[in-house]
Amino acid sequence: MTERYTVVSADCHAGADLLDYKPYLEKKYHDDFDAWAATYINPYEDLLADTADRNWNSERRVSELEADGIVAEVLFPNTIPPFFPSASLVAPAPPREEYEQRWAGLRAHNRWLADFCAAAPGRRAGVAQILLGDVEEAVREIRRTKEAGLTGGILLPGTPPGSGLPELYSQTYDPIWAVCDELGVPVNHHGGSASPPLGEEPAARAVFMVETTWFSHRALWHLIFGGAFRRHPELKLVLTEQGSGWIPGVLDMLDYYHARLVAAATKAVTAESKFGAGLAASMGRGPSEVWRDNCFVGASFMRPHEVPLRERIGLDKIMWGSDYPHDEGTTPYSREGLRIAYAGLPQSEVAAMAGGNAARVYGFDLGLLDPIAAEVGPTVEEIAEPLAEIPADATSPAFARGGSVRVW
C-alpha cells in the first residue's frame, strides 16, 4: 500500500457572504444590519471575484483542498462580519460607541463558523473571534464557542500603538488566559492583525509589509514577560503566518534580556536594576523554556531557508499551512510547496510538520483523517523528490526566488 502524508493546513481562511450573516445575528440587530449592508462597499477585490465563494462554499472547499492533498484545516476569518469596515483580521479596535454592534457581528461570525465546521465533521477547526475591550464578554464568548464545537481556539487581536487598549502584557487580560487554560483553548495570533494604521502615503503599503510581522511577533514577548504562562501553565500560544526563521534569534534575545534584568535586580540599586525589579517573580521560567512548553508556530508556506532551523524552533512546534484561499497561498500547488520545503527530510519530521503537530494542538482525530489521506494525500515518495521546476503561475512566497532572504 502506498504511504501518504496526512496534511492538515494550520492556516486557512473562511467566512460567510455578507448578507448570509444576517440569520446569525440576534434579531434586535436585523434592522441595523439591513441599513448597514445597503450602503456597504466591499474593499477587497478577491471577495468580489467569482472565486469568492471558496470562503463559504463547503463542497467546493473540500473538493479543492482534497485535490491539493489537504484533508483538514484550521479556519481563521476572511470575509467581513456585520458592522465592520473591513475584514475583522485587520480591522482596528472599534470606537467605544461601536462595541455593541461589533460584538454582535463577531458573535454572528462565530455562530456561522460553527455551522460551517459541522458541515465537514472532524475536518475543520474554527477559530473564534473576540474583542479585548470587554474582557468579561470575551470570556463568555470563549466558553460559548467552545461549547458550540469550535476547536481552533480564539483569535487574539493585536493592541497596536494608538489602539487605546492595555498592552497584551497587562493583567487586565488574565481572565482570558485563565479560561483558555481551563478549557484547553489555543490562543492564536495571526500576522497582519496587530499593525497600527499607517495612513495613505505612497510608502505606507511597503512599510506595512516590512513591519507587520514584527508587530505580530510582539505578542510573544508581551505574554512571556507579563507572566501569563507562569500564572496559567497550560496556556497555548500559536503564532500564525508571520514566518518562522525569526524565532531562534528572538528567543536568544529574550533569554539575554531576561537573564540580564534578573541578574541586575539582585545587585545594588542602579538604573538597570529598576528595570528588572520583580521580573523573575512575575514571569517565572525563561523565554526559551516557555517556548518549549507553551508555544507553537503556524509556519504557513514554510520557505526552504527556514527549514534548517527546524530543530532550533522545535520539530514539535512547526505547523505547515496553505493559506487557502488567499492568492499568496500554495493552492493549487501545495504538494509542490511541501516539496520545495521538505524534500529530503526524514519521513517522521515531514509527517509532524505537515499535519501531526496541528492534529495534536487543535485536537484533530487522525483515526478519522488518515483514511481520507490514504486516498488523497501526497505520497511519501512524491514529497521526498526535490522540486526541479517552480510552477509558472504559482503566486505563493513559498516559491519566491532568493530564498536566503531572512523571514522576520
| Phi/psi-derived region of residue 87, left when phi > 0, alpha when psi is between -120 and 50, beta in every other case | beta
Give the residue carrying C-alpha cell 511541501.
338
Domain membership of residue 194 (yes or no) is yes
Residue 330's CB is within 10 A of a number of other CB atoms, namely 30
Per-residue pLDDT of the chain (408 residues; tens, 9 = 90+): 689 999 999 999 999 999 999 999 999 999 999 999 999 998 888 888 889 999 999 999 999 999 999 999 999 999 999 999 988 887 878 888 899 999 999 999 999 999 999 999 999 999 999 999 999 999 999 999 999 999 999 999 999 988 899 999 999 999 999 999 999 999 999 999 899 888 888 899 899 889 999 999 999 999 999 999 999 999 999 999 999 999 999 999 999 999 998 888 877 777 777 787 888 888 889 999 999 999 999 999 899 999 999 999 999 999 999 999 999 999 999 999 999 999 999 999 999 999 999 999 999 999 999 999 999 999 999 999 999 999 999 999 999 864 433 333
Domain membership of residue 191 (yes or no) is yes
Residues in the chain: 408
What domain count does the chain have? 1
Domain membership of residue 315 (yes or no) is yes
Strand 187-190 and strand 237-240: the pairing is parallel
| Span between the terminal Cα atoms of the chain, in Å | 41
Domain membership of residue 406 (yes or no) is no
* pTM (2 d.p.): 0.95
Domain membership of residue 404 (yes or no) is no
- CATH number for the domain that contains residue 218: 3.20.20.140
Domain membership of residue 51 (yes or no) is yes
Domain membership of residue 170 (yes or no) is yes
Domain membership of residue 407 (yes or no) is no
Domain that holds residue 183: 7-399
Check residue 275 and give its pLDDT: 80
